[in-house]
Amino acid sequence: MDKQPHMRDDEVLMRVRDLKKHFQVSAGFFGQNPKFLKAVDGVDLDIRRGETLGLVGESGCGKSTLARTLIRLYSPTDGVIEFNGADLAKLKEKDLAPHRRDIQMIFQDPYASLNGRMNVRDLIAEPLEIAGIGDDKSRTARVHELLEVVGLNKDHANRFPHEFSGGQRQRIGIARAIALNPQLVICDEAISALDVSIQAQVVNMLEDLQKELGLTYLFITHDLSMVKHISDRIGVMYLGKLVEIAPNNALYDDPKHPYTRALLASIPIADPVEARKDNQDQMQGEIPSPIDMPSGCRFRTRCPLATDLCAAEEPELKELADNHKVACHYAE
Amino acid sequence: MSSAPLLKVDNLTTHFHTSRGDVQAVRGVSFDVKPGEILGIVGESGSGKSITCLSILGLLKANGEVVDGSADFEGKQLTGLSDKQLRTIRGDDIAMIFQDPMTSLNPTLTVGEQLIETIVAHKPVSRGEARKRALELFELVKIPSAASRLDNYPHEFSGGMRQRVMIAMALTCDPKLLIADEPTTALDVTIQRQILLLLKDLQEKLGMAIILITHDLGVIAEVADRILVMYGGMVMETGDVYDVFESPQHPYTTGLLHSIPDVRSHTKQRLTPIPGSPPDMLRPPEGCPFAPRCPHAIQQCLEAMPPLFERPNAKPTVHEARCWLHHEEAPKALQSIFDAPEVSNG
């Protein structure tokens, strides 16, 4: 059963086309042959209104860089980020301001992302202040309201971040993120630093907030069990590219890319009987350097199916089944 | 099953002295490790799982102190040994690896030099022989092109490869016990699986015992023989890994299992979190440390510390849980929560 049967399938909130973010890592000899780290290297992605789109991949695959480029913490090297009728990729800093309030981010480490010298009231009111909303009094009232929404209370407003547990700090981070009624919230490993019992609390709250406020989530994580639980669709990234994207059950039942298969086979399952069944998809080797990328298909150096074709030609992301896109010459 | 334990920990109690009072990190922990077995210790941050092992090895920070209890390794008392005596045991008989291999390696020396140094320090061999042994160890932990990799610096290795280097170093003296503290937590899942299978392989090949400390029940399910569930500085439940996952006897274990989504499930079900947060170990609760968060707690749970109750007829080894609901006078209705095998949320 889909989480949101009423979801308007076709309404795209953010349309990303051929997005690239390259970092120059060495100037080269007298400026010749400079080297680039191609963190995001041509990503096409539609984020639909009201959905939770999961994004998974190993460290170094570019998923966090992609997120930071989407909210223009990084300037893209190339490509299009269509959002509310504007192309965020092309906008100048001053023209970005009105869009910034519509896209918010929740970070992994709730301690590092909250200024320890500000109390909770000021932390949560800060985005309101920057956006010039309300006066001091109305902002305080809004902070109290937001604290209730995230399961804290107004007595917490005068305290400082160090007085809270990790889970509570993440709640403060979430209150900050939703203060401006954003349309899109990007959760970058938002629950990864939390203990298992607290993760479930925060995930349930994120789901409730989505329903109440009509939020759209881009949920970035390396936790393959949680991402299946929370997402409607899931994209898999490898070395700066999307290699597969599909509705959550379709991806887990019928993974079509050899990388996705290997990734799913590695999930630690909390059941010794299941966990110790042999599976052949155990992946050898490690992710290559994004500076010296393999030719053709980026995954071919670790792929059990790779042939000459894979070295010669980079596979395109093609729709092989309903809403199920794969970039592999041999996927069917 | 009946072999004498390699390590016997009895009533281990560790406090950290702070300006705000004593943090009671470990409160009377007892367990055995048998030769050649993998014991998985699972718990959340602050449960005392890492401090238990650091206490055994005498690696506590200056303000930490083992205030009671003992750890016995092959008949030798570890608690109370001098630093020098402990150092010999740590190198020769017990080795330890940590979560972040980068901070455990010297960035200015090649990994080969560091490995050779370790071998020469522990064994009466020449550097040439030590290099040969280093190469053997690299091959044992399956580092590709081992011979040339010996001359690389730590930064030239990926996280997974660095952890292999650390395992190679730990194996220098053929330890009887390897303590691995969150060895795969910083790694990607594909690499995590490789390292876990390597540890399992080494345990089978070399016959060494492993204590695997982790917050991840999935990691335990993958490789451990027995499991120890810790909470609030205490052992909450212990038993054979299949037995405990199939019929958990403590509400905390059940709660943990229900907090993680089942990746095999097709229908979306709301997660069942454990409400509240872990106890403050400066002033741990008088009764069961889990009682304030436990959906089944009765008055007795809040007032008195439950002992470990043994589950009757558990196979293949003892299965115990620290929960008053196993007391014969506990309300029968509540006892029944443990009867049926737990169905994972799917």
Evaluated on CA atoms B257, B259, B260, B264, the torsion sign reads: positive
Domain range spanning residue A35? 12-65+75-86+213-326
Residue whose tokens read 């069990």: A225
Closest-CA distance of chain A to residue B31, Å:
22
Domains and their CATH numbers in chain B: 7-224 (3.40.50.300), 231-338 (no CATH)
What's the whole-number mean pLDDT along residues B22-40?
97
Distance (Å, whole) CA A83 – CA A217: 14
Distance (Å, whole) CA B22 – CA B216: 28
Comparing CB atoms, the residue among B192, B257, B272 nearest residue A270 is B257
**CA of B135: how far to CAs of A29, B111, B163, B165, B170, in Å?**
37, 11, 16, 11, 14
Distance (Å, whole) CA A13 – CA A16: 10
- Cβ separation of B263 and A267 shorter than 8 Å? yes
* Per-position DSSP letters for B81-131, written without gaps between them: --HHHHHHHHHHTEEEE-S-HHHHS-TTS-HHHHHHHHHHHHS---HHHHH
The predicted pLDDT at position A293 comes to 87
- Cβ separation of B245 and A272 shorter than 8 Å? yes
B316 in Cβ contact with B328 (< 8 Å): no
In tens, the pLDDT along B246-280 reads: 999 999 999 999 999 988 888 888 999 999 889 99
The predicted pLDDT at position A192 comes to 87
Indicate whether A228 belongs to any domain.
yes
Contacts of B314 (CB under 8 A, 6+ apart): B239, B240, B243
Between positions 139 and 168 of A, the ones with CB within 8 A of B are 165-168
A59 close to B (CB below 8 A)? yes
Distance (Å, whole) CA B173 – CA B194: 23
Comparing CB atoms, the residue among B159, B217, B271 nearest residue A270 is B217
Evaluated on CA atoms B316, B317, B320, B325, the torsion sign reads: positive
In chain A, which residues have pLDDT < 70?
1-10, 278-282
Closest-CA distance of chain A to residue B256, Å:
6
* Mutation choice for A interface testing from B240, B268, B344 by most A CBs within 10 A: B268
For the stretch B55-76, what's the b/e string if a residue is b when 16 or more beta carbons lie within 10 angstroms of its beta carbon? bbbbebeeebebeebbbbbeee
Kindly compute the dihedral angle of the four CA atoms of residues A181, A183, A185, A186, in this order, to the nearest 10 degrees: -150
- Cβ separation of A270 and B188 shorter than 8 Å? no
Distance (Å, whole) CA B28 – CA B26: 6
The predicted pLDDT at position A30 comes to 75
Evaluated on CA atoms B276, B279, B283, B285, the torsion sign reads: positive
Task: Give the distance, in angstroms, between the CA of residue B91 and the centroid of all CA atoms in the same chain.
Answer: 19
Comparing CB atoms, the residue among A168, A197, A252 nearest residue B256 is A197
pLDDT at B122 over 50: yes
A241 in Cβ contact with A259 (< 8 Å): no
- Which chain B residues are Cβ-neighbours of A226 within 8 angstroms? 260-261
A188 in Cβ contact with A158 (< 8 Å): no
Query: How are beta strands B177-181 and B94-97 bridged, if at all?
Result: parallel
B275 in Cβ contact with B289 (< 8 Å): no
Residue whose tokens read 């190993």: A58
- Cβ separation of B271 and A203 shorter than 8 Å? yes
Contacts of B51 (CB under 8 A, 6+ apart): B14, B25, B26, B60, B64, B233
* Mutation choice for B interface testing from A3, A238, A271, A279 by most B CBs within 10 A: A271
Alpha helices, DSSP H, located in chain B:
49-57, 83-92, 101-104, 111-122, 127-140, 146-149, 159-170, 189-206, 217-223, 241-246, 251-259, 299-303, 332-335
**B64 strand-pairing partners:** B16
CATH label of the domain that carries residue A239: 3.40.50.300
The predicted pLDDT at position B341 comes to 44
The C-alpha angle B187, B224, B196, rounded to 5 degrees, equals 30
> Residue A246: in which H helix or E strand, if any?
strand A241-247
Rg of the Cα atoms in chain A: 21
Comparing CB atoms, the residue among A58, A269, A276 nearest residue B190 is A58
Indicate whether A22 belongs to any domain.
yes
Rg of the Cα atoms in chain B: 21
Evaluated on CA atoms B65, B71, B77, B83, the torsion sign reads: negative
Beta-carbon pairs below 8 A across chains A and B: 127
The predicted pLDDT at position A10 comes to 66
- Which chain B residues are Cβ-neighbours of A197 within 8 angstroms? 44, 255-256, 259, 273-274
* Mutation choice for A interface testing from B260, B262, B274, B344 by most A CBs within 10 A: B260
Contacts of B201 (CB under 8 A, 6+ apart): none
Distance (Å, whole) CA B55 – CA B16: 11
The predicted pLDDT at position B345 comes to 44
Comparing CB atoms, the residue among B160, B216, B242 nearest residue A286 is B160
Evaluated on CA atoms A263, B342, A197, B281, the torsion sign reads: negative
Closest-CA distance of chain A to residue B115, Å:
23
In tens, the pLDDT along A74-90 reads: 999 999 999 999 999 99
Distance (Å, whole) CA A176 – CA A185: 11
Using CB atoms within 10 Å of the CB of residue B110, give its burial: 0 to 12 exposed, 13 to 18 middle, 19+ buried.
middle
Contacts of A46 (CB under 8 A, 6+ apart): A12, A14, A15, A16
DSSP structure class, residue B250: S
Comparing CB atoms, the residue among B159, B190, B263 nearest residue A269 is B263
Indicate whether A153 belongs to any domain.
no
What is the average pLDDT score of chain B? Answer: 91
Closest-CA distance of chain B to residue A134, Å:
34
Closest-CA residue of B relative to A302 is B190
What's the whole-number mean pLDDT along residues B90-98?
89
A1 close to B (CB below 8 A)? yes
In tens, the pLDDT along B135-188 reads: 999 999 999 899 999 999 999 988 889 999 999 999 998 999 999 999 998 888
Closest-CA residue of A relative to B240 is A272
The predicted pLDDT at position B2 comes to 53
The predicted pLDDT at position A34 comes to 83
Which amino acid is residue B46, in one-letter code? G
What's the whole-number mean pLDDT along residues B96-118?
89
In B19-81, at which residue ranges do the beta strands (DSSP E only) sit? 21-33, 38-42, 64-73, 76-77
Indicate whether A150 belongs to any domain.
no
The predicted pLDDT at position A145 comes to 95
Indicate whether A115 belongs to any domain.
no
Number of domains in chain A: 1
The predicted pLDDT at position B346 comes to 36
- Which chain B residues are Cβ-neighbours of A207 within 8 angstroms? 270
